[in-house]
Amino acid sequence: MALIKYGGGIVQMSGSIAGNTHARNRYGNYVRARTKPVNPNTAFQQAVRSTMAEMSDRWSNTLTPAQRAAWNLYGDSVNMSNRLGEVIHLSGYNHYIRSNHVASRFGGTFIDAGPVLFELPAHDPAFAITISAAAQQVSVAYDSTMDWADENGAFLFIYGGKPQNGQRNFFAGPWRYMGGTGGVNGAPPASPQLFAPPFVCSEGQHLWCYARIFRADGRISTPFRDDVIVAA
């Protein structure tokens, strides 16, 4: 489904109509031929689908009406952005699935109580990456004084992109989970942390990574990212 903004004609479009996909990058709006993605049905995809089905059933049959109401209130109170940059509000169900998918990724328990703080976690302005082709390690720096780092059950989780030619200046995927670090009350994890890149990297390539902060009450930040040219 395409999102369309009207003005003196069509101001902006995002999504697919018939055989065309409309989108926007840093250079402006563009349209390309629509391609249908393949479904390799990997073991990881099957695990994610199983988790999604479990969470959907849990929302309907395990959560109490008061818990669902709390998630709905959170959804109504927190501003999100759609692909056109417009402010929208996700449903409580959307937020419940969004939060608990991440919690399950780190082996945590499901969070059934809706958040009572109606704001997303802030981005980390200190987030920065460096990578060595020889060591095949990504060094991830962050601000270890942020609240999540001193909170049990909170996480910083990182995704890495597929390396691109050095002259490329824009990247929108594919992304693959690279790793994460958990907060510890009284003993925040030291920065930087080292992770193996999700793809083999070579000197001179351009690599992008993005991170999100997950708080113990189920709130998740929007992505924040950094990019770097791979060192020797």
Q: For the segment 121-161, what is each residue's pLDDT rounded down to a tens digit? A: 999 999 999 999 999 999 999 999 999 999 999 999 999 99
What's the whole-model pTM score?
0.80
Q: Is the peptide bond before 198 cis (omega within 30 degrees of 0)?
A: no
Q: What average pLDDT does this structure show over 187-202?
A: 95
Beta-strand runs (E) in 18-170: 20-25, 28-33, 80-81, 87-88, 128-132, 137-141, 155-161
Averaged pLDDT of the chain:
88
Among 146, 159, 164, which residue's Cα sits nearest to residue 223? 159
Q: For the segment 24-76, what is each residue's pLDDT rounded down to a tens digit? A: 665 566 677 777 767 777 776 777 788 888 889 999 999 999 999 999 999 99
The domain ranges of the chain are 3-33, 43-105, 128-229
Q: What average pLDDT does this structure show over 210-214?
A: 95
Report the alpha-carbon angle 216-219-223, nearest 5: 115
- Structure confidence at residue 27 (pLDDT): 56
- Structure confidence at residue 11 (pLDDT): 65
Where residue 101 falls among pLDDT bands split at 50, 70, 90? confident
Among 87, 97, 205, 226, which residue's Cα sits nearest to residue 156? 226
- Structure confidence at residue 122 (pLDDT): 95
Burial of 38-59, coded b for 16+ CB within 10 Å and e otherwise, reads: eeeeeeeeeeeeebeeebeeeb
Contacts of 105 (CB under 8 A, 6+ apart): 157, 177
- Structure confidence at residue 14 (pLDDT): 72
Share of the chain above pLDDT 90, in %: 62
Candidates 3.40.640.10, 3.90.25.10, 2.60.40.10, 3.40.50.720; CATH matching 128-229: 2.60.40.10
- Structure confidence at residue 178 (pLDDT): 92
Specify the DSSP class assigned to residue 153.
Answer: T
Residue 22's CB: how many other CB atoms inside 10 A?
20
- Structure confidence at residue 229 (pLDDT): 96
Share of the chain above pLDDT 70, in %: 89
